[in-house]
Amino acid sequence: MNKFFILILLSATTTAFSQKGKSKPAEPAKPFILGVIDEIQSKELNEKRVLNIYLPEGYKAEDATKYPVIYLLDGSADEDFIHISGLVQFNSFEWISQVPRSIVVGIATVDRRRDFTFPTTIEEDRKRFPTAGHSNKFIAFIEKELQPFIDKKYKTNDSKTIIGQSLGGLLETEILLKKPSLFDKYVIVSPSLWWNNGSVLNQNSEIFQENFKQPIQIYIAVGKEGLTPTAIPRVMEVDANVLAEKIKAAKSKNVEVFFDYLPQENHGSILHPAVSNSFKFFYPIEKK
């Protein structure tokens, strides 16, 4: 075999191995999609609001299946939307089957003090939080705009749950007492009932009347949280318990309340375990 042929053969072999050894360019990373981002223009609030929405497995707009809706206050992506949606997904797995497959609507936060509090008579709080006291507009937004928007655009049934913590829990309590029919399940966690020196605890409501007909379930949770940030001393655990006891004393058989004290949790850590416990209260699994 002549030398020229051997050189060509070696060159071809080297080129072939070299081409095989080259790695293919990496494909660009794909986004991980947890849900959809929607928007609603609110006349009540005079602003556009962002909605983070989790749709359950198997959700198809063309199907006849309709789903419960869980409305989440503080529902921004960097707040509570991701981990609460994860709890809903986990608890609706077939092998868990604690919660029916549900739509989660996270209402992204703009101004919590403005949206979640009613007017206060405490002058110091007025100065510290000048935008506070407009919960009436936010409640109108939920009732007149948000719920109709979600019901029209997504496959919803009549079950509506609301979840909120701290000032969100205060807003829920106000809704429960003033417009209880907006939701049939309330998850009230570490509510800031100290606002305006606890005046919401003196609020009268149709839910306390014997002839109140709509079935409502209320889960109230509080951790080991201690004194409230007020000039007049109050205790978070005491206020939450007072609210629960007042509701328990209601004459209507259609109002059901569960008080959950979680001494291992504090104001920062309580939401996740509390929401998990609320699902067990709302959807008890029969022991076989």
Domains of the chain (ranges; CATH) run: 31-282 (3.40.50.1820)
Q: How high is the pLDDT of residue 146?
A: 98
Question: Among all chains, which residue has been given the structure tokens 């807003």?
Answer: 171
Q: Which residues make beta-bridge pairs with 262? A: 223
What's this model's pTM, rounded to 2 decimal places? 0.90
Q: How high is the pLDDT of residue 59?
A: 94
Q: How high is the pLDDT of residue 151?
A: 98
**Main-chain dihedrals φ then ψ at residue 152, nearest 5 degrees:** -80, -35
Q: How high is the pLDDT of residue 3?
A: 44
CB-based contact 256:217 (threshold 8 Å): yes
- Mark the ranges of the chain whose per-residue pLDDT is less than 70: 1-23, 287-288
CB-based contact 228:234 (threshold 8 Å): yes
Alpha carbon distance 214, 276 (integer Å): 25
Q: How high is the pLDDT of residue 251?
A: 87
Q: How high is the pLDDT of residue 23?
A: 64
Q: How high is the pLDDT of residue 254?
A: 96
Alpha carbon distance 59, 68 (integer Å): 12
Q: How high is the pLDDT of residue 223?
A: 97
